[in-house]
Structure 1
């Protein structure tokens, strides 16, 4: 498992906000009261022993900015649950998901009014689990993980107040990751679109061939390192953090220097536009202009190209993402958590499991207005993902990602904006020949560790 780490600013905010409420999970206090995160709760919500009882009564369900586009779907799920369990009522709240989302959720937790069932991201899951606000599913619903892809379930663990890693959330939907490329430009460079690279450094080697063949008329990749880190490093199996997550270690691995050297060589060879080193150009736009060989890795990008540049879309190839030394891909899904402060935990857990079951996840994934991939094995085995006919790029991507999701984990590493900027600045100096790869990485790591101490 990874050493989970909150971005510094979020960690500081949560530490201050949650201290007043009290942290941790307890089966009971001195006067016999059960507590969770400092809130008085039903004793059945905490401690050992699975939740038991009838599924009935009222609960609150909160999503994040989904009602406008998917109201019909969620209202249907809620209606089906209420029909299956007479006597239940699910009140749906949709948070706008803006910059103050976490603050609002923390305020709810402090006030012991966290929604019974809540849609959260990785960082919020980490914080709420550590402070005792989410139900420990390993104890309260020990069979909850059965429908989910084993690798994803196994890696969706977060530390509680004691430091023990527990399943406090159910993995929900995620985006996929694929290789996309302009097949016509690949052929011009002497590359075979049927054999895309299988490693990160192999991608750079192919990109050098593009540089030699293109004469500057088109390029392989954009140069800004922010587009590639830390994903490339993680895929190469480089240990970015120490085991405790409290310091950076990427500069200690010689493979990171190899990566910087490969980026530098490609940049100098003309495989990347000179003006893209520090720019915020969107690769999707450049690819859509037919001037970039390798496009973005999000399958949703294919929809963008199909709608805006149909000529380029017809030339777009799709391949499995580079597994490299890691052996699988990573990607943080959205999660569904159940509140340890719920006054109706049996119904909350039942609804969370109903929402994330194979049938309901598959139904949403089939919505033509969304490009998402489910977290259950049965959903991914459905013909919708597996029986792909023709050579349509998006259809092919669906099949590739569905297969990939069966081995992908939730171990995606995210850097804070300050860390990403600091690392990129040093690597850009190396790519310009102003520093060696080793010195740039050493300085980047040093600056990163300073930012961690400062709570960047």
Structure 2
């Protein structure tokens, strides 16, 4: 039964801060980085909140791997979504980290810095060409050389818009905004025509929005943030204009994905990001909206949409490196990723998989239309959230953005303060 990417925890989650001193370095004992030996031995595989919905899939996956590689045994551990970063941190500090671990890039970063993630550019370079470039590079850590996890599933989604609200504002319902200039112009018109009753956007700009706008987010060394540059200030200034005109929802400062979704359902907001799964929700909960739903691409100044990416990391201290690498690759190879993608609304990170008819052949349904559009955009998508951008940093940025929108400080001062706070948190990561 398909489930949302939020339930799969695809969206970047709480960053964990490892006690690096407790973990030591990659030179402290542990297993071999040579994955060319015999594939044998007992290994542990840890996933993140997947057992409840996909037990039969993973049981079959493990059974097939063990059959293909006699002499191996895979013990599957599944951890709940709540507290997963803390669990990883505790296992890393206690030397009990599983051999193969499901991680998002922000959870991978401290593990790699602690020397606990195997460098796949050294141990598994032969598999590099099997994955999309953006997915493979998404498993790299700024300031470090190497790739530290196999790319697993990806996700992205379109922008939905309410054609009826566009029509009432005198806008062409079949020509949604394609650029930021068009977006801001249309948003101001929607607010004006509705006397401030209809906002176009329901969320303040996040780090991904700055990335899509073409803002440089970090310096190339990965030692400091840079989103207070001129384009960043320009974007926040434009959001301030929307906020003042009520083209940005007044409750955006405290909005959650759920609250934004409800605003869109009730017609208080004209545009909202989503996925193919949302269409079924619209059909059930808001049939009037469903009849007037418009679907368009993410707006970006870079030509690249944002994607979320999951990975499968190999513990550098595993005692069975060949088996751990082989299994991590097996979980993420083209055949198994394709099989998983047909069970849940995610996308494979393997090269060529997005050309499968499942992602290219229209059948007349909106769900398939969204899936096809998302798959096409993922071929050159990027993960705009910096790997080192923690939850604390997201909060710091959000707080400063809120002050700017409320007029308590200028957009320039807000982003300067946010960069200072994030840089300070970055130094604390070790």
TM-score normalized by the length of structure 1: 0.82
Aligned to 2:359: 385
- Superposition deviation, residue 139 in structure 1: 1.7
Give runs of aligned pairs for residues 328-339 of structure 1, distance below 5 A.
328-339=304-315
Does the alignment pair 1:182 with 2:182?
no
The match for 1:320 among 297, 302, 308 is 297
Further displaced range: 209-218 or 269-278? 269-278
- Superposition deviation, residue 177 in structure 1: 2.7
What is the distance in 1 between the residues matched to 2:236 and 2:409? 11
- Superposition deviation, residue 191 in structure 1: 2.9
What is the distance in 2 between the residues matched to 1:21 and 1:448? 24
Query: Does structure 1 conserve the Cα–Cα contact (< 8 Å) formed by 2:260 and 2:272?
Result: yes
What is the distance in 2 between the residues matched to 1:356 and 1:175? 15
What is the distance in 2 between the residues matched to 1:285 and 1:208? 21
Aligned to 1:118: 101
Give runs of aligned pairs for residues 47-196 of structure 1, distance below 5 A.
51-99=35-83, 101-158=84-141, 164-196=144-176
Secondary structure at 1:174 match in 2: strand
- Superposition deviation, residue 434 in structure 1: 4.6
Aligned to 1:22: 24
Query: Does structure 2 conserve the Cα–Cα contact (< 8 Å) formed by 1:57 and 1:87?
Result: yes
Question: For structure 2, which runs of at least 5 residues remain unmatched after alignment?
Answer: 1-11
Alpha-carbon deviations, 1:135-165, whole Å to 9, x = none?
2222222112222112321342136xxx542
Query: Does structure 1 conserve the Cα–Cα contact (< 8 Å) formed by 2:198 and 2:270?
Result: yes
Secondary structure at 1:92 match in 2: strand
What is the distance in 2 between the residues matched to 1:404 and 1:246? 30
Aligned to 1:365: 341
If you compute each CA radius of gyration, which structure gives the higher value, 1 or 2?
1
Cα distance change, pair 200–85 in 1 and its aligned pair in 2 (3 A): same
Cα distance change, pair 243–296 in 1 and its aligned pair in 2 (3 A): same
Aligned to 2:9: none
Cα distance change, pair 130–429 in 1 and its aligned pair in 2 (3 A): closer
Query: Does structure 2 conserve the Cα–Cα contact (< 8 Å) formed by 1:122 and 1:332?
Result: no
- Superposition deviation, residue 238 in structure 1: 1.0
Secondary structure at 1:265 match in 2: helix
The match for 2:401 among 408, 427, 432 is 427
The match for 2:260 among 257, 279, 283 is 283
Cα distance change, pair 95–422 in 1 and its aligned pair in 2 (3 A): closer
- Superposition deviation, residue 340 in structure 1: 1.9
Query: Does structure 2 conserve the Cα–Cα contact (< 8 Å) formed by 1:64 and 1:95?
Result: yes
What is the distance in 2 between the residues matched to 1:385 and 1:181? 23
Higher-RCO chain (CA-CA 8 Å, sequence separation at least 6) = 2
- Superposition deviation, residue 278 in structure 1: 4.4
Aligned length: 417
Aligned to 1:269: 245
Does the alignment pair 1:345 with 2:321?
yes
Secondary structure at 1:204 match in 2: helix
Aligned to 2:207: 230
What is the distance in 2 between the residues matched to 1:413 and 1:373? 21
Does the alignment pair 1:375 with 2:377?
no
Further displaced range: 343-352 or 255-264? 255-264
Cα distance change, pair 420–353 in 1 and its aligned pair in 2 (3 A): closer
Secondary structure at 1:361 match in 2: helix
Cα distance change, pair 141–242 in 1 and its aligned pair in 2 (3 A): closer
Secondary structure at 1:172 match in 2: strand
What is the distance in 2 between the residues matched to 1:296 and 1:95? 28
Alpha-carbon deviations, 1:90-139, whole Å to 9, x = none?
2111112322x334334433444422211112122112222222222222
TM-score normalized by the length of structure 2: 0.87
Question: For structure 1, which runs of at least 5 residues remain unmatched after alignment?
Answer: 1-5, 26-37
Aligned to 1:29: none
Q: Over aligned residues, Cα RMSD in angstroms? A: 2.9
Alpha-carbon deviations, 1:23-48, whole Å to 9, x = none?
133xxxxxxxxxxxx2343xxx23xx
What is the distance in 2 between the residues matched to 1:61 and 1:274? 45
- Superposition deviation, residue 195 in structure 1: 3.4
